[in-house]
Amino acid sequence: MPKGSLVFIGGGDDSSLIFNKIFELAGGKSNSKIAIIPSAASSDGKSIDSYLKFFTSEMEFEKEKIWILPIQNGTENKAQEELAKKLEDYNIVFLVGGDQRDFINSLKKDNVETLLLKSIEKVYKDGGVIVGTSAGTNIMSTESIAGGTSEEALANHIAFNPSEDDGHKLLVMKGLDLIKDVVLDAHFEVKGRFGRLIRSAVLTNTRFGIGISERTAVIYKSDNTIEIIGFGDVLMTDIGNARILSKANDILHIREANVHLFTHGDKYNFTTGEFTPQENKKSISNIPYFDANDYHISLNVFKECETSTILVNYMLDNEAKDVIALVDYERNDTTEERSLFIRFEEKPSTNAFFAKLDIEGNQDFGNYYSGINVNLDIIPFNTNSDARNRRKHINAVLFGLGDQLQIVAYDNVGTLPICDAKFYIYDKDENLIYKRGTDRFGRALVKRVLKTDEEYSIKITWDFETLTKKFTFHNDMEGFCLS
């Protein structure tokens, strides 16, 4: 077991809060030496000069103790041997942002470890700190997310090698394998990467996915625990006990995955599953702040910071305790007949925490939430152009939850739940067998009424508008829109 630590930074501006912690892990600033490994490309917009300025000016670190590693490719030669040997004298190795493929060519070309990578592993084994940011974070796991959007990833549009990469398809490559059974993704909230994180975990059969916001870091320690430091959110998915219902090469359909939301000061143990909130955070599970007046149906779960907003405002700190969010409803250019929505739901083991924290000690307090053991379902549904017609007010989504049917009705213009919609279910002989109204969150759950493989029709009415649809019920059936 390595004695050192791994630090995964979600990108963004460099933070003295995070790097002071890194120096502490390395044994103190006076005992630290930093080797910076750049990729050939710098897609995060930062030059080596900017890193040098940050360390020497803001962190007041000696320039003589910083080494920029001049690597170009993975060809082994005498010069590479000398670089690898020198690297072992440093106790902090910093993989900066850029292009994952450049790191692969430099450190693990053709999936073969170079001398440089072996030296990085030795630094880690001997108690040093390996740090990544942006692409440098993504590359540190066994499987590395190298490109793609959340929408394309969930739709199973996959690039199986770099030559198929079009900037939209999900591309996953072999990483440096410094941490196992975890897939990492940076710039998580600002770029809406929740979809590609969960799809990558399923695609590679990796139990945990960790998405890290900018100016935020996850510290992985030798006791198989992580600790969060920084200003944003960290979202972790766990598919260990999830049910994958989709077929190979099809749009993703998954039920009963687990999701955790972490922020500054939180700790999680991978071995025991134990969560320890930051010491000032208090449980808010029984005292939610928000209610139906603050509840919306998100029409684009992958907007900037939308995933954490949904989790906190509409579920963890809301009386609703479950919420759905559509993936790409707001896209007017789509020709897809199938889309997806994401559903978060409270479980008996779910807990939520909150504190106002001044993490920099300058009297600038921020709101920090945490939530553990949230159920995640990703469910495909059939759609059409009428379902995206924003001139109509009422819309409804129906889907199967085991042997139950969930109905969610909402105002298509204001994205508000419709709390007084009436719905009627008829059997194949047009006999009325069920009648209810939606609750104040626009929901209704049909229990122990429908039989699998039986034909039914449903009618929903609200404010002089009526929606009707015939359907055949199946357990865990995919969803459909009424319009």
What pLDDT, on the 0 to 100 scale, is given for residue 1? 78
Candidates 464, 328, 471; CA nearest to 407 is: 471
Residues 167-183 pLDDT 10s: 899 999 999 999 999 99
What pLDDT, on the 0 to 100 scale, is given for residue 334? 45
What pLDDT, on the 0 to 100 scale, is given for residue 98? 84
Lowest pLDDT segment from 19-23, 297-301, 455-459: 297-301
Q: For 432-443, what is the mean pLDDT?
A: 94
Share the mean pLDDT of the chain: 90
Q: For 325-352, what is the mean pLDDT?
A: 77
What pLDDT, on the 0 to 100 scale, is given for residue 44? 47
The CATH superfamily holding the domain 393-482 is: Immunoglobulins (2.60.40.10)
Residues 216-256 pLDDT 10s: 999 999 999 999 999 999 999 999 999 999 988 889 999 99
Exposure letters 236-262 (e unless 16+ CB within 10 A, then b): bbbbeebeebbeeeebbbbbbbbbbbb
Lowest pLDDT segment from 110-114, 273-277, 424-428: 110-114
Choose between 166 and 264: higher pLDDT: 264
Residues 65-102 pLDDT 10s: 999 987 666 666 778 889 999 999 999 999 998 888 88
Q: Quick one: pLDDT band at residue 312, thresholds 50, 70, 90?
A: very high
Q: For 92-119, what is the mean pLDDT?
A: 88
pLDDT of residue 46 exceeding 80? no
- Percent of the chain's residues with pLDDT above 90: 71
